[in-house]
Structure 1
Amino acid sequence: MFDLASIRAIDFHTHAEEPCGCHSDDGYDDLQSAMAKYFGAPWQHPPTIAQTAAHYRAQNIAAVIFPVDAERETGFRRYRNEEVAELAAQNADVLIPFASIDPAKGRLGAREARTLVRDHGVQGFKFHPTMQGFFPNDRMAYPLYEAIAETGKPALFHTGQTGVGAGMRGGNGMRLKYSNPMYIDDVAVDFSDMPIILAHPSFPWQEEALSVATHKPNVYIDLSGWSPKYFPPILVRYANTILKHKMLFGSDWPMIAPEKWLDAFDKADFRDEVRPLILKDNAARLLRLV
């Protein structure tokens, strides 16, 4: 485990990619290349977990890292949760492993979730409704949510528009409707003790996300996927006031580098007393590090 006092921030949103970023047999490289173009990312191949750890170590930042299990909907093989957890454990001075399980796996997925927490040190779970092709309040997902709730670990949901498939023919099959944060309101009611994070400024449903986070005590927002210079004023206003204890720094690495996000954050209109809450304190409490 990293030294909480010595790090300058906790990035709540980074992606794990398979070694060398090569997926020549299933077309995943085409998807990654389109995403890199959308975000203006500088790399030719996404970084490995070891390279991610080295980057964050150099920046003195800890990071939540996860894969996305979207095999059923996309046909792209998943990065095994056990391997991600093992590599994160090898870099535990900066990395915090989350897992991803397609909720369509039902009780099998629920069993996997319990095992990942018990035996592999997984600290939370990532969902991407658009990539995984499901509405978050679909009862199909409830056996998995029940298992996660039992562990006490948080569930992080992509919300809003996505760079996945952006600019590709038909959006590469990605349907934006699944990621409206209002569907997660049902989950927050039915699993009221499970911490839930709404990932990203939720364009075009920003006010819905703020409403859910304001109304439900167990719902938080991570600010990843956008440069803070593009944040809508209402998001900054809520972050500075009634949601100041529920906002989390996130970059969306490797599409956005944490230092680039932090540089824009320094110039954005956030109150001085709120900045440490967003950068580290809120995440530390949510992850039960304090």
Structure 2
Amino acid sequence: MEIIDCHSHWATKKGYIFRTDEELQNQEKIWRTPVKYFTEQEQAEYFRSSNARVILDMSFTKFLPIEEMQEHHDYALEFQRQNPDVVLGHWLQFDPRRCEESIKEFHRCLNKKLGFIGFCINGQVTGVPASDPLWAPFYKTSIDAGIPVMILTGLTGIGQNTRGGLGIRLDDGHPRHIDSVAADYPDLNILAARPGYPWQDEMIAILRHKKNVFYELHGWGPRQFDASLKKEIRGRLQDRIMFGCDFPVLRYEKVVADWQSEGYSEEIVSKVLYENAKQYFSFS
């Protein structure tokens, strides 16, 4: 089955999402998957063999000096240039307190015209929730460019199982921030990302109320979804929900098999794994 993966990370040494020994050890505790580095070629072949086309997120770059950030972005774009059959694009993350240089870097990457480039907003890790006015220039830039913004919500694995959670406040990822952004920017297309646990019902209400909000479910296996979310996938939200794997902490062979074993119809599985994202992003 063909897959459009709306959100995964890098398994290469240069791009790996977790950077410290503590973070790497936590991967095995939280997701129960071992850390394994891929070469660039191995990563491309894994996507290819999984029949997956992917939008990648190199999330740690937002705190790097601008020269290092640009180097990593160029590395990502070159990987896409070499593997256009499996890499559809990239989510770029920025610290909104570095607005001017961030917007400039966004345009630099966008002007490469290699495929999809969009903002991913992580209010929990930056400490700036999505409804904060500091994000306004990013929303306006995305509206002008005609591209969606990904806004992370729900429980994050970053800092999980550590004392103080690395200072992260989960409330900075509450769905109400997405609701505020959707109301304030009706021309902005928003892709809420991750199951909204422990506020799943609030997230569902926002999806039902705000036509400019869609939902992408990376980071969790479908067996762990709340009953209310499973009901909506079969029902009213079946055209608004998309697949994200969260590779490399989760792998396609397990996550896709779980989607196929949860009792959803073939039509719904096809919508979630491929059709909805194809239409949303206008991918061919």
Candidates 221, 228, 231, aligned match of 1:234: 228
3-state DSSP class of the match of 2:266? coil
**Contact 1:63 1:94 survives alignment (8 Å):** yes
Distance 2:46 2:12 in 1: 17
1:159 CA displacement: 0.9
TM-score, with structure 2 as normaliser:
0.89
Give ranges in structure 1 of 5+ residues lacking alignment: 1-6
CA distance in 1, matches of 2:52, 2:104: 32
Q: Which residue matches 2:108?
A: 115
Deviations 1:106-142 (A, max 9, x none): 2332222222212253432222221121110100111
Q: Partners of 1:46 and 1:158 in 2: how far apart?
A: 25
Question: For the Cα contact (< 8 Å) 1:62–1:93, is it kept in 2?
Answer: yes
Partner of 1:263: 257
Provide the C-alpha distance between the structure 1 equivalents of 2:16 and 2:222, rounded to a whole number of angstroms: 31
Is 1:104 aligned to residue 97 of structure 2?
Answer: yes
Give 1:116-265 correspondences, 5 Å limit. Answer: 116-121=109-114, 122-265=116-259
Unaligned segments of structure 2, at least 5 residues: none
> Cα gap change, 1:21/1:83 in structure 2, threshold over 3 Å: closer, same or farther?
closer
1:87 alignment partner in structure 2: 79
How many Å separate the matches in 2 of 1:213 and 1:173? 29
Structure 1 consecutive aligned stretches of length 4 or more whose deviation exceeds 6 Å: none
- TM-superposed CA distance for 1:273, in Å, is 2.3
Deviation larger for 246-255 or 192-201: 192-201
Matched, 1:66 2:57: yes
- 3-state SS, counterpart of residue 124 of structure 1: strand
Q: What secondary structure does 1:153 align onto?
A: coil
Instruction: Report the CA distance between 1:152 and its aligned residue.
Output: 1.1
CA distance in 2, matches of 1:231, 1:90: 36
Aligned to 1:41: 33
1:72-111 CA-partner distances (Å, limit 9, x unpaired): 49xxx75732321221221111012222222222233222
Instruction: Between 266-275 and 148-157, report the one with greater CA deviation.
Output: 266-275
Distance 1:22 1:142, change over 3 A: closer
* Cα shift at 1:202: 0.9
Q: Secondary structure at the match of 1:123?
A: strand
Structure 1 residues 223, 27: CA separation in 2 closer, same or farther (over 3 Å shift)? closer
Task: Specify the code of the residue in structure 2 equivalent to 1:97.
Answer: G
Superposed displacement of residue 252, structure 1: 0.9
SS at match of 1:144: helix
* Aligned-partner Cα distance in 1 for 2:124–2:180: 17
Structure 2 residue identity aligned to 1:286: Y
Which residue of 2 is the match for residue 3 of structure 1? none
- Distance, in Å, in 2 between the alignment partners of 1:192 and 1:272 is 33
Do structure 1's residue 277 and structure 2's residue 271 form an aligned pair?
yes
How far did 1:27 drift? 6.1
Deviates more, 1:78-87 or 1:153-162: 78-87
Residues of 2 paired with 1:200 and 1:178: CA distance? 14
Label 1:198 to 1:27 Cα distance change in 2 as closer, same or farther (>3 A): closer
Tell me, in whole angstroms, the C-alpha distance in 2 between the residues paired with 1:72 and 1:155: 19
2:44 aligned with 1:53: yes
- Report if the CA contact (8 A) 1:137-1:183 is conserved: yes
Aligned partners of 2:72, 2:210: CA distance in 1, in Å?
32
Q: Secondary structure at the match of 1:92?
A: coil
